[in-house]
Amino acid sequence: MASTTLEKNVLDVLFERRATKQYDPEAEISREELNELLQAMGQAPSAWNLQHWKFLAFHNPESQERLLPIAYNQQQITDASAVIAVLGDLRANENVDAVFDPAVEEGAMSEEIKQALNGQIQGAYENEQFARDAAFSNASLAAMQFMIAAKAKGWDTCPIGGFSDAGLVEEFEISDRYVPVMLITVGKAAKEPRKSGRMSIDDLVEYV
């Protein structure tokens, strides 16, 4: 069966995306367009739809300068049009009412099902390791969705794990509810990003 135009476009974006580390410092992204990308980011899937994330948007020279030493003085932090700090929610179980009550009110979910799901969630969150793992895995889904959306809109990105978690928490007074997962720079590439090699899919897949 022939691929649809949508399928081709999505695949093009996935294969064309590259980690960009050198940005045009003159390129600006509007608050409206950045919000559009953040909206797409928030549409990512998550376990129980608890949306285990919070985003800090650095969208001005002053805040990006404050972030620079925390990210070990990587020039992309200040040259990028914006930087997003992706935080994982360690207490996403507290989102149950906010997530499920609208569905109950609309008749899309019964109160009984909500309570059954709540029991599963609260039981799972008694395990601190589960909460931490869920924060990282689900927030990472949102991060990837942001990078795909950005590329689809003509913007370049780079996920950054090289930064001081403690420094970010202290400088920007982040609640202990959240754990830093990654930074993402977004902007216009100053030059063509280096293509990164990929291992053969045959070495990475085992059909069972």
* CATH label of the domain that carries residue 185: 3.40.109.10
Residue 145 has what pLDDT?
96
Structural domain containing residue 50: 11-89+136-189
Residue 7 has what pLDDT?
65
* CA–CA separation, 68 and 34 (whole Å): 20
Average pLDDT over residues 183-198: 90
Q: Is residue 16 part of a domain?
A: yes
Q: Is residue 109 part of a domain?
A: no
The total number of structural domains that make up the chain: 1
Q: Is residue 146 part of a domain?
A: yes
Report whether pLDDT(98) > 70.
Answer: yes
**Do 91 and 177 touch, CB atoms closer than 8 A?**
yes
Q: Is residue 207 part of a domain?
A: no
The confidence band for 101, taking pLDDT boundaries of 50, 70 and 90, is very high
Separation of CA 193 from chain center: 21
**Do 186 and 28 touch, CB atoms closer than 8 A?**
no
Residue 194 has what pLDDT?
80
- How many Cα neighbours within 13 Å face the side chain of 145? 19
Q: Is residue 55 part of a domain?
A: yes
pTM more than 0.85: yes
Q: Is residue 43 part of a domain?
A: yes
- How many Cα neighbours within 13 Å face the side chain of 123? 6
